[in-house]
Structure 1
Amino acid sequence: MESFAFAPAYELPVWPFVPPPELGRAEAVRHPIVIVGAGPSGLTLACDLAQRGVRAVLLDEDDTVGVRGASSRGICYAQKSLEIFERLGIYERIAAKGITWSFGRTFSGEQEVYSFNLQAESVSRQPPFINLQQFYIEWFLVERILELGLTDVRWKSRVTRVEPLSDGVRIEIETPAGSYTIEADRLIDATGANSPIRTQLGIDAHASRSTDRWCISDVRFKKPLPTERWTWVDAPFNEGRGVWQHLMADGVWRIDYQMPEDCDTAHISRPEVAGARLREQLGPGVEFEFVWIGPYGYRDHLLDSFRHGRVFFIGDAAHVVSPFGARGGNSGIQDAANLGWKLALVAQGQANDALLDSYDAERQPAAKQNLEVTSRSARFLAPRSPAEHTLRRAVVALAARHPFARALVNAGRMSVANDYPPAPQLPEGARTVQNLALRWAGGSETTLMQLLAEGTQCLGLWLAPARAEARAAMDATASLPLRLLAIGGDSGLPALQADETLMRHLGLHDAGSFVLVRPDAYRAATLPQATPDAIAAALRTALALDHHAP
């Protein structure tokens, strides 16, 4: 039997354990914000807060990134997440290391059913997707957090107990140097799908484990394959089951093979078995080495609420969806970006606690939508009845010839920034604003993310306002976190050049129209004809300043 070579294991960074100052203290020290879990969502939140000048304590029971010995977890980072990373200062590293792509092909058997190009609908400076092993994202975030210098990162610190208080949370922590207790005004649980905090608090995650089974093969080929996302709905080289094929950093391909429901996970992960699958797919002469092989199943879960008093749940601690379409990790990163600016404004005394309720009001429906989308993908890829098999065969056959049927071929709807439903702080609901390339009136370049990286404030983008109205609006919002910018005109405000793409994307048409953009690059309000009072009222509504927590 053929033997297969393995590449050397990745050398991941290790950070030292530093005994915390609270060790040995009789009284618990109070911290404003404590984050538990240094995965993508926890690190994104810590970095977001530090970027905004807000201190936090970050606890993690490990002292490195990723999963030891495993290179593949999350790999596809969507445009909204990449825009967040641009604002946090690590996007250039991600773009340099990762694989940028926008084109995908879907096959049934040997036939290409359809292809897509996600770049066609984008106006962002960031591409639709970059593929990069998750540990690199975490690595870059840790180094950025340490560079910013405001986060107390505590490695080898395992939370053993949390106790909700009327005005905060008490947290017991175990370390190599002993145990200690601290308190937090607010605790953010980013500990992942098997959250011990959620379990201890008795919060039902409504988990439903799937019988869908897969095997990942991370492979480096001597001769590269096309840099595209290839998906087989029913691959002839995998006994008629699904296959995904993605290129990651370091010339490593991740190939996911759908397995029988009753498979032996140890058997399917053996190098000789995984190697035979690759030979079946690519032919006997293809030269390659394995980087990592591993089986996985998944479960769905969704909390009824992402806020429980002073405890907030983000990322997989709050929701887990099937992996189709890269909606899991990206959603957790976007949870962090949604919560970060709200925590910052509350911590800085510019908003009250009612604003924090909007985190759950926005991100819980977003996670529910992602769960519904990915569940439909899972049913298409793993039909559970003869009728579902018949439907899939019919759809695939029609899609090769008829454009209308291509929308029905569900090999994983790719991650997009979720819209938010109407709510007290969002009377119109909200859609994301992409990272547009902008120019100041004088000609120098900027971007939306660069504007949003400068402090924690909303942006008011106002098309050619009158000078007197602009001055009055500055006065009306002087005490509020708002940066007013004109688009064209001669208002006396800092001005951006009027640009057709910008105007169309924001929905600005007539002089005097106005868009309020939140710190997380979501549109909070659109005013067809703005007045100073209307701008101030829209801003107060977006920040929940007229709503008080019970």
Structure 2
Amino acid sequence: MNNHVPAVAFTASGYELPSYEAVIPEAALSGTLERARLVIVGGGLTGLTLAADLATRGISAVILDDDNTVGVRGASSRGMVYAQKTLEVMDRLGIAERMIAKGVTWSVGRTLSGEDVVYSFNRAQENRSKQPAFVNLQQFYLEWFLVDRLRELGAEIRWLNKVVAVEPGESQVRLSVESAAGSYTIEADFVVDATGAGSQIRSALGLATNAAQHLDRWCICDVRCTDLDVPERWTWVDAPFNGGRAVWQHMMADHVWRLDYQLAPDADPSEAAELATAAARVREHLGPEIAFELVWVGPWAYRTQVLDQFRLGRIFFAGDAAHVMSPFGARGGNSGVQDADNLGWKLALVLAGKAKPDLLDSYDAERRPAAQENIRVTSRTARFLAPQSAFERRLRQVTLDLSREHGFGQSLVNTGRLSLPNRYTASPILGEGGGFCFPDLALADAQGKTKFLSGLLGELGTGSLGLYVPRPGRDPARAAISGIGGDGLPYLVRTLDIGQGATRCGLSDPGGEIARLAALAPGDFVAVRPDLYCGGILRSATAAGVEALLARSVGFGATR
């Protein structure tokens, strides 16, 4: 079925985005109290991803959004670099092919100082996943695809339904909602706030955001240019065409380029965003021969914030409602997708009655430290791009000088450490050796057919996949371990051939990647969670140990 979104129109006020009809719920017409098991507030990237994740697991949610479009009306491309983990999530949700077809796939990045390349990388050289390293795509397209997918899955998005009050309780959360037909009330078992950095729910609950504002200022220029075709990430630390300040350059869909220009400390952001000023800046960048059209221009600054807790009773905070970080390294939108990826399967198991409610505590235990790490990483980039003292400026110059002469100096150049899955440590559901994320690796079944990890987990449903490496010859533990799980339990064990000489294994690891990442040997066992994270590793595994680790990884029974 060819249902790709066409190129959007460009207008003087920005992108021309789709509009959806306001939804009038029955409760608004009848004045009755509505009951729901789960309400997701916010139809942006994080909220839509979470809703789609749950829908593919057979869990319906009420989705409320106070607007009637995707992206931000009249605004820019916003998020646009989607990393491999996000692509793996979207592949599971059924829209990665659309993203790749519409966007720009890339793996090469170059960092320049003046005219010199001082650092470069090629993520394709180390790629072991089914998905490419990166795809550049304007955020509204991804949200658009998610809306289409949710419609295919039968989910209802209530456009122009605004939450105006929240009352948390021990057994439910009460939301007051305004619609075009009047107000109504929903009582929900659980609520997820995915309304973004300006969350009114968070403010109403009086939660501290621990916010910090950075003085650095930038100007985005989304530029349509058909004369260029460079599907790479280029960043300048001190671009000669931008007064010796930083510049980012990314190619996106529709021949639109995302150009970010660092402004002088004393620049007036509104003046910098005037069309004539922006056009002159782009002309200086591209040279006199390249034709271009300004699509959108706007200044931006960045701040950081992170909640003290991502869970407050029956309310969860995800995406920018939970954390905000500078955009360096594309960690903002990708982090929100990973929040949804982490929370979705846990909510699904709890709502299906297959896991204890305290499984949900692991969301905060895993995703809050991840947000803190992302803030630390992006803050270091900010200091490199905008040194705050003479010492920092000198240190950066020394680093750039070293990078021109010595290979080790290149690794010190920091224009954005690109998004990778965070490692989880202090989590109640992780066993020994767990907490790292597997790529979507290719295995083979007993007939030699390729099976990706995500597909194997999809066949299982919502649960953990256990992989046992049998000892060659007689293995007294094999029969007991390989029979664990199934029959409605949220986990299942398969035997894995890593070349150890065991026969009749259900799966094999032809590339040796799982064996390498988990350092597996005969007799070992590894648990793979629904989000492709390692739930734990057992050396010289026993049936009792395997069952306990799998149950722990999905909150089956007490998690603490």
TM-score (norm 1): 0.95
CA distance in 1, matches of 2:158, 2:80: 26
Residue aligning to 2:374: 370
CA distance in 1, matches of 2:148, 2:20: 11
Residue aligning to 1:289: 293
The one-letter code sitting in structure 2 at the alignment partner of 1:496 is L
SS at match of 1:500: coil
Query: What is the CA distance between 1:7 and its match in structure 2?
Result: 4.8
The one-letter code sitting in structure 1 at the alignment partner of 2:257 is W
Deviations 1:517-545 (A, max 9, x none): 00010000111222221110101222334
Report 1:87-126 matches (<5 A). 87-126=92-131
Deviations 1:227-256 (A, max 9, x none): 211100011111111000000011111100
Report 1:171-320 matches (<5 A). 171-320=175-324
User: Which of 473, 477, 483 is 2:481 aligned to?
Assistant: 473
Answer whether contact 1:187 1:310 (CA < 8 A) is retained. Answer: yes
Query: What is the CA distance between 1:285 and its match in structure 2?
Result: 2.2
For this pair of structures, how many residues does the alignment match?
542
Cα gap change, 1:141/1:378 in structure 2, threshold over 3 Å: closer, same or farther? same
Residue aligning to 2:3: none
SS at match of 2:326: coil
Deviations 1:470-519 (A, max 9, x none): 543365535531122222377777x1233133343443543332110000
CA distance in 1, matches of 2:66, 2:476: 57
User: Which of 536, 539, 546 is 2:547 aligned to?
Assistant: 536
Deviations 1:311-352 (A, max 9, x none): 100000000101100011100000000000000000000101
Answer whether contact 1:88 1:453 (CA < 8 A) is retained. Answer: no
SS at match of 2:174: strand
The one-letter code sitting in structure 2 at the alignment partner of 1:449 is S
Answer whether contact 1:35 1:59 (CA < 8 A) is retained. Answer: yes
Cα gap change, 1:107/1:122 in structure 2, threshold over 3 Å: closer, same or farther? same
Answer whether contact 1:7 1:290 (CA < 8 A) is retained. Answer: no
SS at match of 2:87: helix
More displaced 10-residue stretch of structure 1: 42-51 or 117-126 = 117-126
Residue 25 (structure 2) pairs with residue 16 (structure 1) = no
Residue 501 (structure 2) pairs with residue 496 (structure 1) = no
SS at match of 1:354: helix
Answer whether contact 2:528 2:535 (CA < 8 A) is retained. Answer: yes
The one-letter code sitting in structure 1 at the alignment partner of 2:489 is L
The one-letter code sitting in structure 2 at the alignment partner of 1:485 is R
Cα gap change, 1:23/1:491 in structure 2, threshold over 3 Å: closer, same or farther? farther
Residue 395 (structure 2) pairs with residue 394 (structure 1) = no
CA distance in 2, matches of 1:25, 1:356: 34
Residue 464 (structure 2) pairs with residue 453 (structure 1) = no
Cα gap change, 1:64/1:456 in structure 2, threshold over 3 Å: closer, same or farther? same
Answer whether contact 1:476 1:533 (CA < 8 A) is retained. Answer: no
The one-letter code sitting in structure 2 at the alignment partner of 1:483 is L
The one-letter code sitting in structure 2 at the alignment partner of 1:517 is V
Answer whether contact 1:71 1:135 (CA < 8 A) is retained. Answer: no
SS at match of 1:22: helix
CA distance in 2, matches of 1:221, 1:44: 31
Query: What is the CA distance between 1:407 and its match in structure 2?
Result: 1.6
SS at match of 1:211: strand
- C-alpha root-mean-square deviation of aligned residues, in Å? 1.9
CA distance in 2, matches of 1:93, 1:75: 15
User: Which of 342, 346, 355 is 1:342 aligned to?
Assistant: 346
Answer whether contact 1:170 1:182 (CA < 8 A) is retained. Answer: yes
SS at match of 1:364: helix
User: Which of 51, 61, 64 is 1:56 aligned to?
Assistant: 61
CA distance in 1, matches of 2:195, 2:172: 19
Residue aligning to 1:34: 39
Query: What is the CA distance between 1:88 and its match in structure 2?
Result: 0.9
Answer whether contact 2:46 2:336 (CA < 8 A) is retained. Answer: yes
Query: What is the CA distance between 1:48 and its match in structure 2?
Result: 0.4
User: Which of 475, 491, 496 is 1:487 aligned to?
Assistant: 496
More displaced 10-residue stretch of structure 1: 403-412 or 171-180 = 403-412
Residue aligning to 2:524: 513
Answer whether contact 1:430 1:524 (CA < 8 A) is retained. Answer: yes
Query: What is the CA distance between 1:25 and its match in structure 2?
Result: 4.2
CA distance in 1, matches of 2:531, 2:372: 20
Cα gap change, 1:220/1:505 in structure 2, threshold over 3 Å: closer, same or farther? farther
Query: What is the CA distance between 1:71 and its match in structure 2?
Result: 3.5
The one-letter code sitting in structure 2 at the alignment partner of 1:66 is G
Answer whether contact 1:229 1:246 (CA < 8 A) is retained. Answer: yes
CA distance in 2, matches of 1:254, 1:504: 40
CA distance in 2, matches of 1:197, 1:315: 14
Residue aligning to 1:464: 470
The one-letter code sitting in structure 1 at the alignment partner of 2:102 is K
Query: What is the CA distance between 1:424 and its match in structure 2?
Result: 2.7
Deviations 1:154-189 (A, max 9, x none): 110000000001111000000111110011100000
The one-letter code sitting in structure 1 at the alignment partner of 2:496 is I
User: Which of 358, 362, 370 is 1:358 aligned to?
Assistant: 362
Query: What is the CA distance between 1:115 and its match in structure 2?
Result: 1.1
Query: What is the CA distance between 1:425 and its match in structure 2?
Result: 1.6
Deviations 1:53-74 (A, max 9, x none): 0011000011110111223100
Residue aligning to 1:547: 558
Query: What is the CA distance between 1:281 and its match in structure 2?
Result: 1.5
Answer whether contact 1:218 1:293 (CA < 8 A) is retained. Answer: yes
CA distance in 1, matches of 2:44, 2:23: 20
Query: What is the CA distance between 1:273 and its match in structure 2?
Result: 0.5
Answer whether contact 2:108 2:233 (CA < 8 A) is retained. Answer: yes
Cα gap change, 1:474/1:480 in structure 2, threshold over 3 Å: closer, same or farther? farther
Answer whether contact 2:219 2:263 (CA < 8 A) is retained. Answer: yes
Give the fraction of aligned pairs with identical amino acids, expressed as a percent. 52
CA distance in 2, matches of 1:284, 1:482: 61
Residue 143 (structure 2) pairs with residue 129 (structure 1) = no
More displaced 10-residue stretch of structure 1: 174-183 or 113-122 = 113-122
CA distance in 1, matches of 2:503, 2:490: 20
Residue aligning to 1:3: none
Query: What is the CA distance between 1:546 and its match in structure 2?
Result: 4.6
Deviations 1:44-94 (A, max 9, x none): 100000010001100001111011122310000011111111111111111
Answer whether contact 1:467 1:490 (CA < 8 A) is retained. Answer: no
More displaced 10-residue stretch of structure 1: 469-478 or 276-285 = 469-478
SS at match of 2:28: coil
More displaced 10-residue stretch of structure 1: 308-317 or 24-33 = 24-33
Answer whether contact 2:107 2:122 (CA < 8 A) is retained. Answer: yes
SS at match of 1:297: strand
User: Which of 149, 158, 163 is 2:162 aligned to?
Assistant: 158
Answer whether contact 1:160 1:174 (CA < 8 A) is retained. Answer: yes
Query: What is the CA distance between 1:110 and its match in structure 2?
Result: 1.6
CA distance in 2, matches of 1:105, 1:487: 40
List alignment gaps of at least 5 residues for structure 1. Answer: 1-5
CA distance in 1, matches of 2:458, 2:90: 11
